[in-house]
Amino acid sequence: MMERTLVLLKPDAVQRALTGRIIQRFEDVGLKIIGMKLVQASREHATTHYADVGVRRGAKILEQNVNFLQEGPVVAMVLEGIQAIELVRKMVGSTESKAAPPGTIRGDFSHQSYAYADTHNMVIKNLIHASSSQDDAKKEIALWFSEKELYAYKSVHEKHTFGK
């Protein structure tokens, strides 16, 4: 099943110059970038993106996430591929970086824990956001990209990756 998913390389990934290395991992497994841009999120945009966090985890966590997303530019991408949502989430690793296994993006490049973040009254800096479901992906893609910013094209890998 072909899917699209939103991926955000958060300000810590951009500031640490990890964007190229992270993007390469997605391309290496055959995911296709159909939209990508560097964005400085407004407060309103960041709040809309993290609205579910406020509902699930409370106003303090929402505020921390919104502030963090505004610390610098983010690389917003739409990736397309076979079961892209599940694949990307597996590649990204656990939200709590210290629990992410080696070989995942968070496991290789990040190591903060919830306990450390809570003790220091900060958001956990975990480099990346990836849509968690098809419904979330549709909403998030529409929030970050217009249809005109998404492109259909054939990659050289499609014959091998997608069987086309």
Active site residues: 129
How far is the CA of 6 from the CAs of 22, 75, 123, 138, in angstroms? 14, 11, 21, 8
Amino acid (1-letter code) at residue 16? R
d(CA 99, CA 117): 14
Tokens 């014959």 found at: 159
Contact residues for 134 (Cβ-Cβ < 8 A; gap 6+): 3, 85
What's the angle, vertex CA 13, arms to CA 63 and CA 26, rounded to 5? 115
| Bridge partner list, 104 | 102
Say which amino acid occupies 89: R
Tokens found for residue 53: 């966090």
Nearest CA-CA partner of 92 in 125, 126, 116: 126
